[in-house]
Amino acid sequence: MLYTMHVSITRIDPSLPLPKYESTGAVGFDFVTRQTTHIEPGAIALVPGNVIVQVPAGYALLVLPRSSLPRKKALVCPHSIGIIDQDYHGPKDEIFIQVRNTGSEIVTVERGERIAQGMFVRVEQAQWNEVDDHGAPTRGGFGSTG
């Protein structure tokens, strides 16, 4: 069973649709690109996602590439995951999707195209309790399981 939350959102270009979930069981919604963007081979570009989202308290908004992005467009997200914080929702805080063209040709992302998805995840901020010793290690360090 999926739950719903109310989220404030502003479209930069109201003629484009709001992000939407493509199926009843989808946990990620698709961002629609606001303008056609051309990306040179090897270049990194920011593709405007057309929305400003006020992330609810207790949540973060993850921006993730759609699984077909590398195969269909030769585009990857060089940072893997974008994180939209709860305080990133000012009048100039449009969500952008950062992509890198891994191909040998110019890639065009058309206005209205879906190239990324968003997902809300519950988060907490840590309150640090500094200690001098964590006790004996239970594993041998980074990569210890082979």
Q: Mind listing the pLDDT tens digit for each residue in 58-92?
A: 999 999 999 889 999 999 999 889 999 999 999 99
Regarding pTM above 0.75, the answer is yes
Rounded to an integer, the average pLDDT of 47-65 is: 97
Q: What is the pLDDT of residue 3?
A: 80
What pLDDT does residue 41 have? 98
List of residues 6+ apart from 113 with CB closer than 8 A: 32, 33
What's the angle, vertex CA 89, arms to CA 125 and CA 51, rounded to 5?
120
Domain residue spans of the chain: 8-13+27-122
Phi, psi of 4 (to 5 degrees): -115, 155
- Whether domain 8-13+27-122 has CATH 2.40.10.10: the reply is no
Residue with tokens 């051309």: 38
Cα–Cα dist 103/43, whole Å: 10
